[in-house]
Amino acid sequence: MKNTIKQLKEYLINHNIKPSTIRLKVLEYLLNNRIHPTADDIYKNLLPQIPTLSKTSIYNTMELFANNGVVKILSFDGKEAHYDVNTELHGHFKCRRCGIIYDFNVPFDIPIPNELKEFDVKEVDINFYGICHKCNKQRGQEM
Amino acid sequence: MKNTIKQLKEYLINHNIKPSTIRLKVLEYLLNNRIHPTADDIYKNLLPQIPTLSKTSIYNTMELFANNGVVKILSFDGKEAHYDVNTELHGHFKCRRCGIIYDFNVPFDIPIPNELKEFDVKEVDINFYGICHKCNKQRGQEM
DNA sequence: CTAAATGCAAACGGTTTGCAATGCT
DNA sequence: AGCATTGCAAACCGTTTGCATTTAG
């Protein structure tokens, strides 16, 4: 909706990715549905539009996207991968009740700890777990 | 070595776990090998002492330990679980080259971000990825 | 003797693989 | 035609399951 096909193509080309039908559809989906979807989410959503679609292609596409900085791969509790089009540094909160993944700003500069002074830190994951405010309210009513 | 069987038993009982042969051996291994082992690491290490040991028992034990605060389950990049007997809040650095997992102190109070003010945060994971100093040195020599 | 702990084998689920089919220029 | 993209089916691997067997109090 928000992005023209031309814009999507440019976006991929800027990330050194040849635009193909599937890649454009996946990108469009990711940009319009910022819910940290799984491979299965993406697959299920695009299947009606691309009846010949395979999961393999989703995985191929996501690996390509990850390697070219289009998405960051998230995982929580060692479970299935989620994909985040927002590759800027930020934290995630995963609700253990409803499963929704919330973004939050890391409201502090993350200092490299002394122990890691000579380490080459390339990536930082900050994941919180618990119960989100919506589920907290519901839980309150139940009791 | 460091811990008598009596001490190990007490440790489990304090965590509301009935001491069994396997549980004691696993605990002993964890306390003496603080390398964030996987289920397979633990299994392989104990097999010589307990020839009838099964992986299922390792998984059962680790789930019990996790539920009773004896270990924290770690996972990196969505891969196999690692188990940490140190359940105090601290961060981890995983070297993408040698695979070693380093601990570090989180040298800052982690403020709950505004976005999560009404959230019930129960767990915090802080994982860094990159190349550790040992591998950095090696890499320097190679080139 | 009973209940809990352990072990076996099969199933599971997400992901990866090898290779064939298809599409694009 | 030739190379990249896509799709299929099978393999893979860590984990979980159901149930039978063993162990310990």
Q: Express each pLDDT in B98-122 by its tens digit.
A: 999 999 998 666 777 788 889 999 9
Write down the mean pLDDT value for chain A: 93
Q: What is the reported pLDDT for A1?
A: 59
Shared domain for B63 and B126, answered yes or no, is: no
For residue A113, the enclosing domain spans: 88-142
Mean pLDDT of A110-133: 90
Q: Are residues A64 and A10 in the same domain?
A: yes
**Confidence at A113, pLDDT banded by 50, 70, 90:** confident
Q: Are residues B31 and B72 in the same domain?
A: yes
pLDDT of residue B30: 98
In this structure, the answer to whether residues A78 and A43 fall within a common structural domain is: yes
Q: Which of B49, B64, B82 is the last residue of a domain?
A: B82
Q: Which residues of A touch B107 (CB under 8 A)?
A: 111, 113-114
Final residue belonging to a domain, choices B82, B100, B123: B82
Residues A132, A100: one domain?
yes
H-helix segments, chain A: 5-14, 21-32, 39-46, 55-67, 133-142
Same domain, A9 and A77: yes
A21 and A73 co-located in one domain = yes
Q: Region B25-40: what's the mean pLDDT?
A: 98
Q: Is the CB of B10 under 7 A from strand D?
A: no
pLDDT bracket for residue A108 (50, 70, 90): low
Q: Does A98 touch chain B (CB under 8 A)?
A: no
Whether residue B140 lies within 8 A of chain A, CB to CB, comes out as no
Residues of B in contact with A75 (CB under 8 A): 75, 77-78
> Is residue B38's beta carbon less than 7 angstroms from any atom in nucleic acid strand D?
yes
> Is residue A10 located within the same domain as residue A50?
yes
Q: How many angstroms is C1' of C12 away from CA of A79?
A: 14
**pLDDT-based confidence at residue A21 (cuts at 50, 70, 90):** very high
Question: Which CATH number do you get for residue B49?
Answer: 1.10.10.10
| Cα B103–Cα B47–Cα B4 angle in degrees, nearest 5 | 65
Mean pLDDT of A28-42: 98
Q: Are residues A129 and A65 in the same domain?
A: no
Q: State the CATH number of the domain containing residue A137.
A: 3.30.1490.190
What's the pTM? Answer: 0.94
When divided into structural domains, chain B yields a total of 2
Residue A143's pLDDT is what? Answer: 54
The reply to whether the CB atom of residue B56 sits less than 7 A from any atom in nucleic acid chain D is: yes
The answer to whether A51 and A22 have CB atoms below 8 angstroms apart is: no
Q: Are residues A10 and A63 in the same domain?
A: yes
* Residue A11 pLDDT exceeds 90: yes
**A9, A75: one domain:** yes
Say whether both A64 and A9 belong to one domain. yes
Stronger pLDDT, B107 or B49, i.e. the higher one: B49
